[in-house]
Structure 1
Amino acid sequence: MNRRVRDGLKALSSAPVQSKRRIPQDPRCYFNKLPDELIIKVFQYADIKTLIKLTYVCSKWRRLSEDDLLWQQRYLRYTSKVKAVKLKDSKLPYKVRLFKDCRKIRDDTAIRKTKLNPYTAVVANMDRFLWSFEVQFQICFTMKDKTERTFTNSYKKSFSSSTVVQWTTLEDFPKLSDVSTVALYARIPLMLSSKGKPIKGSPRQLSLLCIDKVNELTPLCEDKHIKAVVLPSGILVALWSGSEDIAFVCVSIHHHDLVKKILYSNADTIYTNPHIVVPDDIDTSYGLHGYKCHINLHTLGASLFEEKFSGMFCNEAQTPRVENVKDNIELNVSSISAPVSNKLEIAWKTDLFQGSLSHTVMLGVTLVDINNEVMWEISRPVKSNDKPLDDGVFCMDGFIKEFKYSDKVGEVSLVINVDGERANVQKVKILLNVENINNWFGTDY
């Protein structure tokens, strides 16, 4: 092989290999070069959830995906199958009209299907509402660097006055030391079919239920695997022992106004039903009688104790006017000796471990006034304390446990006698703050 041929082969082998496929030099999307009419035609095949996501791609896609013709087709499709709401301003874009009409239809359907318990004044069929409207609960951790991490509930169970929600995941929860706030949201579909069921692929409304600062937590209890702390709203955060790593999160949500909070709240504001004072100048003891109370003790999955009290009152002599006003008044509670499960503990389970928080339960209290309006609601974890014997408690060979909770409205306590495999609630005590009674009824005790 002569030198000229050898140099030619060497140059040929070192030359870059060119691909048969031509690589475009223009890095811009060729789809955007199509006429707007064709792009809108393609967008017509997207569902509403996808159409909303298209608005975040670029400014052109945002403009085209909000074309009124696209939303007019969907407005006629989804509102023609149900009774559409006539908006006063028909000049609104069809996108706005669609969401307003569908939300109003959904809210009216949900309120019509929910029934109130005449005794507790809260929704009686909450489990059916959560199931039929496919409600999800989401916990959101806002980190100190302003980023957010969200998780959807892995378990929920409804009781007579509250619903327990738990979050456990194989994904790592953030360290509690890196979290600034914890928020609880409900996610409910916005659009319903003609049969009143959520439409597949419907966008979901995000409703804020509560939000807490992490620096306001309170220690609760611990076992060999975890230690539990409670946030002001009642959210229980379980940390692995010896660390700030979160094992699981759970909360017991009271049913009072829960349906309205899910429907009428938004991502930033919690719905509140304002209380209207009903004055009464005839009955001088107005605000001191006619109470009803429902008390429920439960774990994450089972009810331990449930009792209802009616005709509760307070002697007016306990709250003399003008002078010597006491801070709290005590409602009379009929004597009780009701059986309760002796397993006064919250059993927990994650993907890898399980255990129980001894002498800790979820306490649910619903106090209804004489106007059948919920005056005080409690739904949160509480830990028992050793109770010394007094005149109202009898105990032989067992031991006495007291579950107590208090806030600005009042105080409630349950005294339980545990004797081997048997346990009985022996005493219930309910105190109400006088200032709160005056604000609620417009009185002056």
Structure 2
Amino acid sequence: MCVRPHRRSFALRDPRDTGGDSWEMVLFDREAVDVLFMKGPGVQSAAPRAPLRQQAPGDGHRGRPSPRCPVLLDSLPSEILLKILSYLDAATLLCMGCVNRRFYHLANDNFIWIRIYSAAFSPKRCNWRADSAEKAAASVSSLSVEDKEAGFWKREYIAKRIASVKAALAQVLKLVNPYTGLPAKTKEALRISGLGWVIILKGKSGQEQVLEHAALFVNDSSVTVVWYGKNWPCLATLSTLDLCGVTPVFTDRSKPPARNGPRWPSLVAKYNLSNLTDSTLVGCDRFVRIFHLNPGLLVGLWKRAEELAFVMANLHFHHLVERSTLGSATIPYELPPHTPLLDDSPEYGLHGYQLHVDMHSSGTFYLCSTFRSLFTKEGYIENGYVKLVVIHFQNSNEHLPLIGKVGLSWRTDIFDGCVKSCSVMDVTLLDEYGKPFWCFSSPVCMRSSPSPSDGPHFVGPTYCIDYEDPAGRVHVELVWIEETEEYFMVSLVLYLSVAKINRWFGTQY
């Protein structure tokens, strides 16, 4: 079913320069731009007033507006408009700047923004006595307004607000979980920043539609974000899907983040929807087929209509806040370069690993385990990979049960269901210094496999899970035990890329 894309939000560029300015890459709600919010001093919010109208000639009812002669707000003198704008808050001023070119320049007025800046960041002091120094400071401030180019104090205000949020986030993200090596308070960091995620569906004709997430699950080492609804565009008309983090430009910790204010978009990943083929199919049930697009995206299609049913993004905690806030609307955030710590050990880079692995779906966990002191030898290097055995076939003491019946739960406005034998796997591999070496969160599927010939005899069918990306591969063997109705993980092997190890540790294997 094809529907008209709604005008929820859009990306704003600097109208003076089509190349844009990083300060102007903001996501807005269209409703905030389509109406003017008239507010008085000290009022936090107000409803839009009715349009002003002039009295028609000959109208006998004094004071009653005539519908024939409207007075457009844009026709008012700039002095009056500046007076009106001086009563608005920072977020509403940014929205006003999106109306047209004239309002953009008016909403950049330095005298308006320096008042906002001073009210927010000036040091608090007693005002019982105004001495000559304070008067001199006020005159200097007035001169600085006139000397600066338009929009200077707006940029200064926004920069300082962002810097204060970044400082608070850095403090929260300092504490590290000893089991995962990841920030222990990522959930609190999401609350402080007001961070959320949107997907931008881009059509072949250039049309775009922005969709807000419908559900969000915070796991031990990842975040699962889900989109579903009734207003999906036709799949045949779509070309790509962009996943973006969005952060409110102005945050208030005492209130939940608003979705209809100005927000910074940060591109996390771009996906090609033409890749929804049999090679990316990971499972199905009677309603949907699900496809995996790397990194970590799950796309569900209705079986009969071949249309989008839902989208699920799995985002690992490693640099999650940075990737979702520090990029631009078109360029993802680049991780800082890693500087290897040199060591003279002949097996440097082959020992001291720590692995944390989770398997889950929609808040339900099937496996959560940590493995320490993992190592391998040079003799296990083959075909460009280093083999790191975590769980051995032969050692039954290492085998782990999966709790519950494994399945990937999904839901939409109409139906819900569960795709059997599928789940989300989070892998966090730390090096010997406790730094994240390889991290991912991805949907995986159990597939039937023959019983291993070099291991013990298992009573029950065997399955395998495989995952691969440029950093390495994961191979898991499982056995279904009919008596207890549960899966047992009887083998877990990591294949680490030799090129990745050499870059990380500065070695030459």
Residue 133 of structure 2 aligns with which residue?
none
Which of 151, 157, 161 aligns to 1:102? It is 161
Counterpart CA distance in 2 for 1:265 and 1:96 is: 18
Q: How does 1:121-136 map to 2 (within 5 A)?
A: 121-136=181-196
* 2:438 is the alignment partner of 1:376: yes
Residue 244 of structure 2 aligns with which residue?
185
Counterpart CA distance in 2 for 1:176 and 1:231 is: 16
Counterpart CA distance in 2 for 1:72 and 1:198 is: 27
Q: Is the CA contact 1:360–1:383 (under 8 Å) kept in the aligned structure 2? A: yes
Which of 56, 66, 73 aligns to 1:31? It is 73
Q: How does 1:290-369 map to 2 (within 5 A)?
A: 290-319=352-381, 326-335=383-392, 336-369=398-431
Residue 302 of structure 2 aligns with which residue?
240
Q: Is the CA contact 1:228–1:239 (under 8 Å) kept in the aligned structure 2? A: yes
Residue 399 of structure 1 aligns with which residue?
461
Where in structure 1 do 4 or more consecutive aligned residues deviate above 6 Å? 18-27, 195-201
Query: Per-residue deviation at 1:129?
Result: 2.3
Residue 286 of structure 1 aligns with which residue?
348
Amino-acid identity (%): 27
Query: Per-residue deviation at 1:413?
Result: 1.8
Amino acid at match of 2:112: L
Amino acid at match of 1:36: S
* Structure 2 SS opposite 1:173: coil
* CA deviation map 1:132-153 (0-9, x unaligned): 4332211110111111111111
Q: Which 5+ residue runs of structure 1 have no aligned equivalent? A: 1-17, 83-89, 320-324
Query: Per-residue deviation at 1:334?
Result: 4.8
* 2:501 is the alignment partner of 1:444: no
Counterpart CA distance in 2 for 1:146 and 1:199 is: 30
Residue 145 of structure 1 aligns with which residue?
205
Q: Is the CA contact 1:152–1:167 (under 8 Å) kept in the aligned structure 2? A: yes
* Structure 2 SS opposite 1:381: strand
Q: How does 1:142-291 map to 2 (within 5 A)?
A: 142-169=202-229, 171-193=230-252, 203-217=262-276, 218-291=280-353
Amino acid at match of 1:408: P
1:396–1:121: structure 2 CA closer, same or farther, 3 Å change rule?
A: closer
Q: Which 5+ residue runs of structure 2 have no aligned equivalent? A: 1-57, 125-146, 393-397
Q: Is the CA contact 1:346–1:357 (under 8 Å) kept in the aligned structure 2? A: yes
1:22–1:433: structure 2 CA closer, same or farther, 3 Å change rule?
A: closer
1:111–1:19: structure 2 CA closer, same or farther, 3 Å change rule?
A: same
Which of 41, 49, 52 aligns to 2:94? It is 52
Counterpart CA distance in 1 for 2:370 and 2:75 is: 70
Q: Which has the larger radius of gyration?
A: 1
Query: Per-residue deviation at 1:22?
Result: 8.7
Counterpart CA distance in 2 for 1:227 and 1:202 is: 36
Q: Is the CA contact 1:292–1:312 (under 8 Å) kept in the aligned structure 2? A: yes
Counterpart CA distance in 2 for 1:33 and 1:275 is: 53
Q: Is the CA contact 1:331–1:431 (under 8 Å) kept in the aligned structure 2? A: yes
Residue 422 of structure 1 aligns with which residue?
486
Residue 4 of structure 1 aligns with which residue?
none
Q: Is the CA contact 1:437–1:443 (under 8 Å) kept in the aligned structure 2? A: yes
* The 10-residue stretch of structure 1 (110-119 or 230-239) with the greater mean CA deviation from structure 2: 110-119
Q: TM-score, normalised by structure 1?
A: 0.85
Q: Is the CA contact 1:300–1:347 (under 8 Å) kept in the aligned structure 2? A: yes
Aligned positions, number: 413
* 2:94 is the alignment partner of 1:61: no
Counterpart CA distance in 1 for 2:422 and 2:218 is: 19
* CA deviation map 1:202-230 (0-9, x unaligned): 63221111111122342221111111112
1:434–1:282: structure 2 CA closer, same or farther, 3 Å change rule?
A: same
Counterpart CA distance in 2 for 1:23 and 1:352 is: 48
* Structure 2 SS opposite 1:333: strand
Query: Per-residue deviation at 1:91?
Result: 5.1
Query: Per-residue deviation at 1:99?
Result: 0.8
Q: Is the CA contact 2:95–2:262 (under 8 Å) kept in the aligned structure 1? A: no
Q: Is the CA contact 1:191–1:199 (under 8 Å) kept in the aligned structure 2? A: no
* CA deviation map 1:53-94 (0-9, x unaligned): 222223322221111111111112222479xxxxxxx95710
Counterpart CA distance in 1 for 2:251 and 2:328 is: 19
Residue 7 of structure 1 aligns with which residue?
none
Query: Per-residue deviation at 1:306?
Result: 1.0
* The 10-residue stretch of structure 1 (424-433 or 310-319) with the greater mean CA deviation from structure 2: 310-319
Amino acid at match of 1:62: Y
Q: Give the root-mean-square deviation of aligned CA atoms.
A: 2.6
